[in-house]
Amino acid sequence: MKKLLLISATTGLLAAPAAPVLAQDSPHTLSANVGLFSQYIFRGTAQTAGKPALQGGFDYGHSSGLYLGTWASNISWLQDFAAYNRSSLEWDVYGGFKKGFGDFYIDVGTLYYYYPGRVNPGFFKADTWEIYAGVGWKFLGLKYSYSLKDYFGARPNANADRTRGTGYLDFFVDYPIGETGLSVNAHYGVLKVKNDGTQALATEVSYNDWKIGAAYTVPSGMLKDVQVGVYYTDTNVKKTPAGTSFWVDGTAYDTAKPAVVAYVKKTF
């Protein structure tokens, strides 16, 4: 999502399977993942204007609960909104602490979104830094993210005031269906942008988004840990009576319209 465009990852409905340990009784784990998606949706908004996305990352975890990771995806929204010149990459770096207590867990950390490229005149850097805290029980979770920089380059009000301090609340469900490898997933998000714009001027950025989907993870064999899935996503992005919106890019593509996303990914 994201973003000024606001728009900008992810995350999403689907969590990667737990990584195997490096060696027997080792406190360290390493994993990698790669996926092909029919398009990239972040917090309900399109990052690739309906076109496919190739995504992947690496993760390290320690038995203490500490973790580090990096993840990347192709994007097009910065160029589609004419905010950047020749920008087609989102690169995320994150770290934190996650610990379970029976059926419950806590998760705190930080995430930096980096967008290489040159910013065009009249726009701002899209790089965003968030801190987050989450709690969960079995298949239910709640996470709150808070931006320490402008929210993906957005300064939507008439004074171009800073949007650091923007918050995003994420409710999510990932329910496994017995031992079948199937799961159903749902999410509801609430974005509150600091110093938001107005609906009358089509610069209001805050919105709610939701998605629902299903996934199947192959449990064994040559395709073990390959996951295929599909989900539907939508938002309540505000539009003026004329139908204009902050989220329509320079190519007239509505990045906040409903979408169906299909994907296949593999965790190693």
Q: How far apart are CA 76 and CA 88, in angstroms?
A: 5
Instruction: Give the mean pLDDT of the chain.
Output: 91
**pLDDT of res. 101:** 94
Ordered by where they begin, the domains of the chain are 2-267 (2.40.160.40)
Given a contact cutoff of 8 angstroms between Cβ atoms, the answer to whether 227 and 216 are in contact is yes
Give tens-digit pLDDT for 94-137: 999 999 999 999 999 999 999 999 999 999 999 999 999 999 99
Q: How far apart are CA 185 and CA 136, in angstroms?
A: 15
Q: How far apart are CA 61 and CA 68, in angstroms?
A: 7
Higher pLDDT, residue 9 or 72 = 72
Which DSSP symbol is given to 16?
A: P
| Residue 246: band (very low, low, confident or very high) from pLDDT cuts 50, 70, 90 | very high
Q: Count CB neighbours of 160 within 10 A.
A: 13
Give tens-digit pLDDT for 203-231: 999 999 999 999 999 998 889 999 999 99
Give tens-digit pLDDT for 6-65: 433 333 333 333 444 444 578 999 999 999 999 999 999 999 999 999 999 999 999 999
